[in-house]
Amino acid sequence: MTYGNFGHGRSNAFQTQLEHRATHGLTLNVSYTYLSQKSSGLDTGNSSLGGVAYNQFQPEQDYGQESFVPHSRFVAYGVYDLPVGQGKHFGSSMSGWANALLGGWQTSFNMFAKSGAGYTPYWVCDDCGPISLGNVGVGSIDAVGDFNNTSYRPLVTGNYKHRNGDQIWDPNAFALPPSGADLFNNPQVAKRNLLIGPGAWGVNLGVHKEFRITERVNASFGADVDNVFNHRLFVPDSDYGGGGGPFAQLGDFSLMVDPATLQPVIDPASINKNDLFGRLVNTFSQEGVDSRRSIRLRLRVTF
């Protein structure tokens, strides 16, 4: 096992932005980014240590889309003064009490939408060390590169894009990893970030109003609705979608020594398949949007 500075990366991006400055009570900002970010040097969220190369002898085999980086991302936010109340387009002649209740309200929102990111399928080895697949002789093989488990990439044997209910990838399209000298370079071994996960979108909404009680006393009342449409955000975080989570884990196994060849092989009786592989059963807060709808009421008095 070695550590060092190696690898290279390349980013190609298209960005565009539309901005409407505050006029007629409306402020609006909309932006879109298309990003192709590839590298062979892992960056799995631990910036102080980097990551573990799956095949340190041929690191270029891992050149591909970065983890947790969607190709498309759309972000928007805005503030709008409702045209209702005294001096407004609607209700300009309403009484003082009516204006206090109905006039002068302001709304705000922020939202995001993004496409799916890449995930690496893997098997966890429960007892690798001192023996390991391929007679590599080290128990630090990491299919994902984030220092979680001794893990190996599977063989791809079928169409993994077949969806079944809430399971977006077909686990039957993957086999156990090779156990011989072709551990790393078997052409069927799954590539880094082979799997494309779900996209997501979410919207927050706020409604606010300022009340002038006296010359020296003001009150602000508002409601903030997080994830106003209660849309489920299935995009995993790095814990659930990385090498320590079940989202891309096919299962686990233990090793035995083949008495005929004296080589480490997978014990068939030890294989446990992961029922959560590729299943959309958990939601995650992200991009400033909660994983479920929540409403906060707030009242502030200033004097």
Parse the chain into domains and list their residue ranges: 9-302
In three-state secondary structure terms, 60 is helix
Least confident among 1-10, 118-127, 247-256: 1-10
- How far is 136 from 152, CA to CA, in rounded Å? 12
The percent of residues in the chain predicted with pLDDT above 90, rounded, is 60
pTM metric for this prediction: 0.87
Q: Give the pLDDT of residue 3.
A: 64
- How far is 295 from 31, CA to CA, in rounded Å? 27
Q: Give the pLDDT of residue 262.
A: 86
Which helix (H) or strand (E) segment holds residue 271: the answer is none
pLDDT band at 94 (very low <50, low <70, confident <90, very high): confident
Which of 78, 102, 30, 31 lies closest to 206 in space, CA to CA? Answer: 78
Q: What is the mean pLDDT of the segment spanning 128-144? A: 85
pLDDT band at 238 (very low <50, low <70, confident <90, very high): confident
